[in-house]
A and B are shown apart, each in its own frame.
Chain A
């Protein structure tokens, strides 16, 4: 029981950023633009957010500061993603290449700037991690949910859930969501009824950039006290979550939870329960990868990718 609680509790630091970034990817792909730049945008957003914390450590009280930094990361991610939008929409460039360019740029940008601004000229930028919330009055005492969600938690966990619900509503219950989805399925048809396809695609990419930028910071803040311009492939993992999640918010959160749980198990080989099983720790370390392969085998057949994702819009094509 304690082991299970531990696994569930420690799933969140992996799951929340994956969810937020995958939702970002969802908006982009639903509009018809493949965004493999998620990794780069995460790096970039986290970088600007951390620099913000680094330069103004005492600007606001801790929780307000974290929210301010998240907004900074969100805006910088959105601006950064404009590059991808311009290349994909206006220039009708190949979206994979444009995304790759952003991925390559982001880490170098962080290292370059960090080496200029840090006193020792190193790429690790330190920040004070004062954002942990040890307990929440009343809520922490709820059995099971209290220890999992409301003890030693971060405000980002709840922001992540908020984004999930808003995304789900926007995509399926609003006029904008319907139009966005139409542009990703059949842009010519959408155009024929007066929807500005290019504009919708710009918005889709901008939202993905905003969420990915914020997701980068959400990933970094709880786990360390220093940022070196690396998000360890979480942007690509978010793409996998998006595909497992079949481009639907309700399934994306489940996919992210699955990945998070597997990742937690792989680091829990030292728990008494797992040690008593007598399985070598290397088995646990391969769990996430083997699980991914197995799930992929079962889900790949019924992929529900937006039909027009990855194709530049050509009004003359039918």
Chain B
């Protein structure tokens, strides 16, 4: 009897906390006037130094310049239902436009675009479709932005090998399309530079299945560095912080992702950027000027400055601005084409580069 009572109490306690959690988050400071521009974060936090933060800075920049109110909302969990709940909360909080950074939002926006036809959505890295990919539909209140991550990764890989490195690593957060494109581009960039310099390049290639910093990633990176890897391109949000910690310990290099991450650690030689901040700001400007690109799916690539490396090349030893401009121009003119739809990294046609895929893609 006593044991039963204990069990019952435990169950009650657990239930209590579970419901408490779900009603606490997504949390937002209540205010009368509401917030006109809302942003719902993907996996990770608003200050992830990477994806969410890049998009958020675009929102902040536009709103501050134009005296608009803005707020972000963190979903309780990474599921379509929780995303929709957070979007609903943003709209109830007064949002007229909702920015959703991330591939995972495709299903949520697919639902939300018809639920809230009077609200505009800016969807990054995805276009609206059902979670099982059975139906694709984009309404006139949604603007989808893709980035040519493969070109950005390509430039990073090219620069690293041109700078004299031949032993590289790639750590992706998860094998989601944007991260896969970064990785595939990185391999192709390294390959082109290897062919030009006639050297052999090896690349360790792995997905961490995580976007958060922790000790396991640090140990993994330390292991790679200890066996000769000179630089790791880490496209994994906050997990990059652990890789940078390892690089500092091992005195090796890191290539950052999404935004210019050079201020996070001296070890970051360059970053494969995508123009999150500028594209969000531009989309908001268009919207408020009455030119919202509703129903449009855009891919921002080198031709519009949507992707690239930061302008500071001082942490490279031999690779210069001029080298960068030359290869960048070749991408713009189409002389060099980066494959973005390979089924696996092993399907890329490479001759001078050996890719060791650890785990599966």
Contact = CB atoms under 8 A, between A and B. Distances in A.
A100 B9 CA distance: 11
A204 B206 CA distance: 46
A310 interface: no
Contact of A223 (B6, B242, B356): B242
A267 B223 contact: yes
Contacts of A152: 249
B38 to A, nearest CB: 15
B183 to A, nearest CB: 15
Interface residues of A, number: 41
Contacts of B206: 270, 281
Given A222-B215, A264-B219, A270-B206, A101 B13 contact: yes
B189 interface: no
Contacts of B129: none
B245 A224 contact: yes
Contacts of B359: 269, 280-282
Interface in B230-259: 238, 241-242, 245, 248-249
B241 to A, nearest CB: 5
A304 interface: no
Interface size range on B against A: 35 or more
Interface in A83-116: 94, 96-97, 100-101, 104, 108, 115
Interface in B332-361: 356, 358-359
A65 to B, nearest CB: 18
B227 interface: yes
A274 to B, nearest CB: 9
A232 interface: yes
Given A94-B6, A224-B213, A270 B204 contact: yes
B241 A226 contact: yes
Contacts of A282: 359
A123 B47 CA distance: 10
Contact of B17 (A104, A223, A263, A264): A104
Nearest to A234: B215
Contacts of B213: 223-226
A2 B225 CA distance: 12
Given A222-B215, A226-B213, A270-B206, A97 B245 contact: no
B303 interface: no
B358 A123 contact: no
Contact of B219 (A10, A94, A108, A281): A10
A2 B226 contact: yes
Interface string A268-282: 111110010000111
A14 B215 contact: yes
Contact of A226 (B217, B224, B238): B238
A122 interface: yes
A254 to B, nearest CB: 21
A267 B209 CA distance: 13
B15 to A, nearest CB: 11
Contact of A224 (B47, B215, B224): B215
A224 B242 contact: yes
Given A224-B214, A268-B219, A270-B206, A124 B45 contact: yes
A199 interface: no
Contacts of A129: 245
Interface in B6-40: 6, 9-10, 13, 17, 20, 27, 29
B93 to A, nearest CB: 15
Contacts of B356: 275
B244 to A, nearest CB: 8
16 contacts: A2-B227, A6-B223, A13-B219, A96-B10, A97-B13, A100-B10, A122-B46, A132-B249, A223-B214, A223-B215, A223-B242, A224-B218, A224-B242, A268-B219, A272-B227, A282-B359
Interface of B: 6, 9-10, 13, 17, 20, 27, 29, 45-47, 204, 206, 212-220, 222-224, 226-227, 238, 241-242, 245, 248-249, 356, 358-359
Interface of A: 2, 6, 10, 13-14, 94, 96-97, 100-101, 104, 108, 115, 120-124, 129, 132, 152, 222-226, 228, 232, 263-264, 266-272, 275, 280-282
